């Protein structure tokens, strides 16, 4: 808290209400020295008299502690800034996740191909061959499952018919026909099927 700012604000409000330091002090049953200390930023009003002080000065405690009158528009502005900031952070996080998805997908395929290739061409016992192929499939299935989970939750899918942006269920992403990240799914809003693109950001709905 900015004591100097609060002090100046108290002085300003006191004068607006046509009070001297002495008159304000009397109303609060304190010394005018205490009022002077607040106004020069050397101390803050005690919490026990803060409400009474705000009442006399026609401000609320929030104004007092901020050292200025906080208007409703100000609140909204600050909230909006915060929301924009949060949305930006989510978009950045989603972009990173989608990059990670590509990496996981590529690694899964390399592991699977590596397993199949080595089991097919390297000399080894048949049961080892089978184990290596099964392990390759298992690892790549886990990887692909994880990649699909990322694709489901990062960003949104956009309905080509009504432009509705939404997060689909895991199963609808898993079983949908797809070309890259564009998937043929049913829109939960308009109920039509279309090729839906993966988009970052919720848009202006």
Which of 83, 124, 94 has its CA nearest to residue 201?
94
Contact 199, 151 (CB under 8 A): no
Around Cβ 150, how many Cβ atoms within 10 Å?
Answer: 18
Residues numbered 100-159 forming contacts with Zn ion, rule: CB under 5 A: 159
Pick between residue 57 and residue 159 the one whose CB is nearest to Zn ion: 159
Q: How many residues bind Zn ion (CB under 5 A)?
A: 7
Instruction: Report the nearest approach of Zn ion to the CB of residue 44 (Å).
Output: 56
In the bound state with Zn ion, the residue whose beta carbon lies nearer, of 161 and 181, is 161
**Residue (140 or 196) nearer to Zn ion, CB:** 196
Question: How many whole angstroms separate alpha carbon 89 and alpha carbon 79?
Answer: 15
3-state secondary structure at position 176: coil
> Distance between the two ends of the chain, CA-based, in angstroms?
38
Contact characters 186-205, Zn ion, x per CB under 5 A = -x-xx---------------
Select 75 or 184, whichever has its Cβ closest to Zn ion: 184
158: helix, strand or coil: strand
Contact code string over 148-187 relative to Zn ion, x by CB under 5 A: -----------x-xx-x----------------------x
Q: Which is nearer to Zn ion, 93 or 162 (CB)?
A: 162
Residue 114: both structure tokens together: 């590596």
At 189, is the secondary structure helix, strand, or coil?
coil
**Least separation in angstroms between CB 163 and Zn ion:** 7
Under a CB-based contact definition with an 8 Å cutoff, are residues 7 and 45 in contact?
no
Q: How far is the CB of 157 from Zn ion (least distance, A)?
A: 10
Binding site for Zn ion (CB under 5 A): 159, 161-162, 164, 187, 189-190
């Amino acid at each position: 808290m900015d004591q100097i700012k609060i002090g100046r604000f108290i002085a300003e409000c006191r004068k607006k209400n046509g009070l001297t330091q002495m008159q304000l002090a009397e109303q609060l049953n304190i010394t005018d020295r205490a009022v002077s200390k607040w106004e020069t930023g050397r101390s803050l009003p005690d919490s026990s008299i803060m409400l009474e002080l705000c009442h006399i000065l026609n401000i609320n405690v929030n104004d007092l502690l901020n050292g200025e009158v906080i208007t409703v528009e100000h609140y909204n502005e600050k909230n909006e800034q915060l929301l924009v900031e949060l949305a930006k952070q989510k978009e950045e996080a989603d972009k990173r996740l989608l990059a990670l998805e590509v990496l996981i997908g590529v690694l899964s395929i390399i592991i699977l191909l590596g397993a199949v290739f080595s089991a097919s061409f390297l000399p080894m016992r048949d049961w080892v061959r089978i184990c290596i192929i099964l392990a390759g499939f298992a690892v790549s299935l886990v990887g692909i499952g994880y990649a699909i989970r990322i694709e489901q939750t990062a960003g949104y899918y956009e309905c080509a018919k009504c432009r509705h942006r939404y997060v689909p269920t895991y199963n609808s992403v898993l079983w949908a026909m797809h070309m890259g990240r564009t998937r043929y799914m049913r829109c939960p809003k308009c109920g039509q099927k279309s090729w839906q693109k993966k988009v970052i950001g919720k848009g202006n709905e």
